[in-house]
Amino acid sequence: MDTNLVEIFYLLDEFCKEFDKVKKGHVLQKDCNKQSRNHAFRMSDSEVITIMIYFHLSHFRNLKHFYINYVQVHWKEHFPQTVSYNRFVELQQKALLPMTVFLQLCCLGKCTGISYIDSTHLRVCHIKREYSHKTFKGVAIKSKTSTGWTFGFNVIPKRWVVERTFGWFNFNRRLAKDYELNTDYSTAFIHLTMCRIMLNRVNRKI
């Protein structure tokens, strides 16, 4: 595990160095007379991203528990200058852009033909300003969610089908949490789960 940790950190550190060089010429500066302090942070972006990636690869479900009870205890030699958990949460916002670009460019595999739909509602504007909103006119719609009427994008008609399918997956212990390191394994267990469901339905009819 330590070998994988060092390898992932090395790739991230090299990527962040190149990303910072490219970003310097494209970042908009604030138009003010105040001088900004460009002091170095205790934890670099590559360290923060490495911890975030390993959190999703681990069996932990709580980031605070993972950071305090595992990273700061067992990984002291790898991360000697860890900050408090509240400060770590703030550093995540700073590392969000390089982490997104890194995952998009370096970590996306080939499409297996199976896609997932997120049913989260994307609100465009307040419901009272739906008639004056012109940007997404003809695209965004007025719909009702569990929190009330909203104007935006929402997967209402078939959302229950997707959520019901995820509920079926959770009955299988192997799919209750994403333990797999390879997407092919996860795809195989999804197929096995759906085969089990279809066999149970055929057995009921017989």
Q: For 124-167, write each residue's pLDDT tens digit.
A: 888 888 888 877 777 787 877 777 788 887 665 666 677 778 78
Q: Write out the DSSP string of 91-153.
A: HHHHHHHHHHHHHHHHS-----S--------EEEE-GGGTTT--TTTTTSEEEEETTEEEEEE
Q: Is 203 left (phi over 0), alpha (psi -120 to 50) or beta?
A: alpha
Task: Examine the domain organization and report whether 92 and 168 are in the same domain.
Answer: no
Question: 187 and 98 in one domain?
Answer: no
Per the structure, how many domains does the chain have? 2
Q: Concatenated DSSP letters for 58-75? A: SS-S-HHHHIIIIIHHH-
For residues 102 and 174, membership in a common domain is answered with no
**How does pLDDT run across 152-206, given as a tens digit for each residue?**
876 656 666 777 787 888 777 777 776 677 778 888 888 888 888 888 878 776 5
Locate tokens 């055929």: which residue? 202
pTM: 0.53
In a domain, 132, yes or no: no
* Residues 18 and 84 reside in one and the same domain: yes
Please indicate, yes or no, if residue 180 is contained in any of the structural domains: yes
- The encoded tokens of residue 78 equal 């790898």
Which of 68, 86, 106 is the endpoint of a domain? 106
Q: Which domain holds residue 193?
A: 159-205
Query: Given 83, 106, 129, which residue is the final one in a domain?
Result: 106
The pair of three-digit structure tokens given for residue 131, joined into one six-digit string: 């008639």
CA distances, 86 to each of 68, 83, 91, 187, 199 (Å): 11, 8, 9, 36, 49
pLDDT for 158? 63
Which residue reads 């759906």 in tokens? 194
DSSP 16: H
The answer on 12 and 80 residing in a single domain is: yes
Same domain, 89 and 9: yes
Do 7 and 102 share a structural domain? yes
